[in-house]
Amino acid sequence: MAKQPQPISPLKNFFAGGFGGVCLVFVGHPLDTIKVRLQTQPKPQPGQPPLYSGTFDCFRKTLVGEGVQGLYRGMAAPIIGVTPMFAVCFFGFGLGKRLQQRNPDDVLTYPQLFAAGMLSGVFTTVIMAPGERIKCLLQIQAATGETKYSGSLDCAKQLYREAGIRGVYKGTVLTLMRDVPASGMYFMTYEWLKNILTPEGKSVSDLSVPRILFAGGLAGIFNWAVAIPPDVLKSRFQTAPAGKYPNGFRDVLRELIREEGVASLYKGFTAVMIRAFPANAACFLGFEVAMKFLNWVAPGL
């Protein structure tokens, strides 16, 4: 296993992680919109076709009906949240590694890296849950034919006015169920791939751009392979009318399996996987580039 880099400073982590997150959102948001619309489309009436027959049909109808801006619907919420979220995410991963090191030079095992990644998922939920709630509501709004929210801020205000802070944070448990194991897989896979892609005698910090893109993109695919089922439940729960699921995700799970079968837990799979590689490749490349820039301009920061 190649030697792991030392933990970075929280301030550098904030800027580099934030830049990586912005790269991820900009590249991946159009397919995230498609994913949410596929996951939340209503069950068709007997004899009627579904609203969207698949990923490409949803993409085409969104583009034709709403233009390019329709693919970026609800992007303001994740963009506003990505800088602190990814700062906390990468900081949480570094902290998780440090807590498991007896000495600063210790090289962690892959299970330890997985545990450190899970800690980052706990850290990000506080920021992620309300952003996801707002994003999902805005993404499905256009498909329903009614305009309840004029934007991210208006959506947040209305949610708070209707149900207080609980309304804004609806779906937090499901966000934790998605992000904790998925983040463990995400960071462990990225570190594993960086190690095996590092030439003998070289440092992981000297990886070429194509290798960083490959490692980041594949880490994103492994992340979503774990995250899709709880993400489907989360999207359904966060966009449901108040009181529809009194017992939370258990009611969502029972309804989905009863009415649409186990395969419904993988709705949006194609859109997620098409999005996962380029979006997360962009995220990790943005992070690595920003980190090198910060190390160059402010080595003592």
Q: What is the 3-state secondary structure (H, E, C) of 192-250?
A: HHHHHHCCCCCCHHHCCHHHHHHHHHHHHHHHHHHHHHHHHHHHHHHHCCCCCCCCCHH
At 7 the pLDDT is 46
Residue 224 has a pLDDT of 92
Per domain, the residue ranges of the chain are 10-198+205-297
Query: CB–CB of 40/140 below 8 Å?
Result: yes
pTM: 0.78
Label residue 143 by pLDDT band (50, 70, 90).
low
Mean pLDDT computed over every residue of the chain: 85
Closest CA to 209 of 291, 285, 290: 285
The CATH homologous superfamily of the domain defined by 10-198+205-297: Mitochondrial carrier domain (1.50.40.10)
What is the per-residue pLDDT across 34-77, written as a single tens digit (0 to 9) for each? 888 887 887 787 888 888 888 889 889 888 888 888 888 778 77
What pLDDT sits at residue 2?
46
| Average of per-residue pLDDT across 184-201 | 92
How confident is the model over 223-242, as pLDDT tens digits? 999 999 999 999 889 988 88
